[in-house]
Structure 1
């Protein structure tokens, strides 16, 4: 695979598993208002899918074979927890990228870091466009939250591998993710107030 290429070639089965994971997580985020499923699907496509593909791309770039693998038990558990809680508890676990071959702690740390960093970038870019549409605000909030959550230093989350690789790097990136999340939230709140003011003036 060419180092300058950003393309990630997915096997047919892998693509299907990624789609199933995205659809399942979209159901979790949309419930109990299934009318919001299309919005949830776009949000998951913008936040979850690039997160996983970032792991996949960097693993391939470092010379490892890798693939996204759906975890049916995790996805079913996420859906059941959401349904039983009436949509109050949303656990977004559906699978992960498996790295084949011997990968050192350094390699695994770098590969793990790629996903949350991608979420931060997506959150920041989406926040810039949030004045144009509430959808960008939703993507920004979800992507920022996904980045922070995945950086928690507990297995099997990305933060576990990053902290095991280099605690200083983990602390720096985790702090950065909190800062990005706070700035994104503040930006979205300002935009929401602007929408309310615009609506009020419309009356």
Structure 2
């Protein structure tokens, strides 16, 4: 049985819906929310389509692989696990992005059924850390794509409607999305991954959240990395 066969049709539908809605939310967030209304003259259909495409690619890889990492790690321990979307949180994500330009990405969760078996702290911690670690690993190819786009761009600057511009934009957004997802999920509050990881191993929690914070800073200030290639 392949990995895809372990994803039920119902789960695939929920992942697809969450993926598309988050793509819309990130498109609104990247364009500044109300800027679509207040500064609509400077926003083109082509620009929105490229932003939506980039958001789909970045969010698709970042979000879907994050949730599947939780799922397959849980299954390695013999548990049933499936992602379930939260319609309410998806609506909130779009509304908040439209109003504030900030994306609150909590589209649902991977539900785990232990079938009556008590899950250990280590199992819970490893299942939880699989998601943020996946995002941290995904940062590497997105940084490479961003740098390639930057190096291919002419000395006059980066132009979005070109291959170098698209690669740079895709790499940058992918870098930022994965850094945000990793750090946000590492916060030790509520149902987030960080709380479970900290209960399992505070040292591992401290290292991963510190790395996530540094990478989030670099993602929001990418000139720090790009200055090495000038």
TM-score bracket for this pair, using the shorter chain length: 0.7 to 0.9
Aligned to 1:65: 80
Q: Alignment partner for residue 172 of structure 1, among 197, 203, 207?
A: 207
Mean alpha-carbon deviation: is it higher for 63-72 or for 124-133?
Answer: 124-133
Deviations 1:118-168 (A, max 9, x none): 000001221122122211221012111110111000011111111122222
TM-score, L = length of structure 1: 0.83
Aligned to 2:41: none
- Quick one: distance in 1 between partners of 2:113 and 2:5? 16
SS in 2 for 1:69: strand
Aligned to 2:65: 50
CA positional deviation for 1:41: 0.9
- Quick one: distance in 1 between partners of 2:86 and 2:122? 25
Q: Are residues 8 and 56 of structure 1, via their aligned partners in 2, closer, same or farther at CA, if it must alter by over 3 Å?
A: farther
Matched, 1:162 2:197: yes
- Quick one: distance in 1 between partners of 2:101 and 2:21? 16
CA positional deviation for 1:178: 2.2
Structure 1 residue runs without a partner (length 5+): 198-203
- Quick one: distance in 1 between partners of 2:176 and 2:22? 16
Q: Alignment partner for residue 95 of structure 1, among 108, 115, 118?
A: 108
Matched, 1:129 2:126: no
Q: Which has the larger radius of gyration?
A: 2
CA RMSD between the two structures: 2.4
Q: Are residues 28 and 128 of structure 1, via their aligned partners in 2, closer, same or farther at CA, if it must alter by over 3 Å?
A: same
TM-score, L = length of structure 2: 0.74
Are the counterparts in 1 of residues 25 and 97 from structure 2 also a CA contact under 8 Å?
yes
Structure 2 residue runs without a partner (length 5+): 37-47, 149-166
SS in 2 for 1:173: helix
SS in 1 for 2:6: coil
- Quick one: distance in 2 between partners of 1:79 and 1:96? 17
Aligned to 1:17: 14
Q: Are residues 79 and 184 of structure 1, via their aligned partners in 2, closer, same or farther at CA, if it must alter by over 3 Å?
A: closer
Aligned to 1:201: none
Aligned to 1:110: 126
Matched, 1:138 2:173: yes
SS in 2 for 1:99: strand
CA positional deviation for 1:21: 0.5
CA positional deviation for 1:185: 5.3
CA positional deviation for 1:105: 2.2
SS in 2 for 1:58: helix
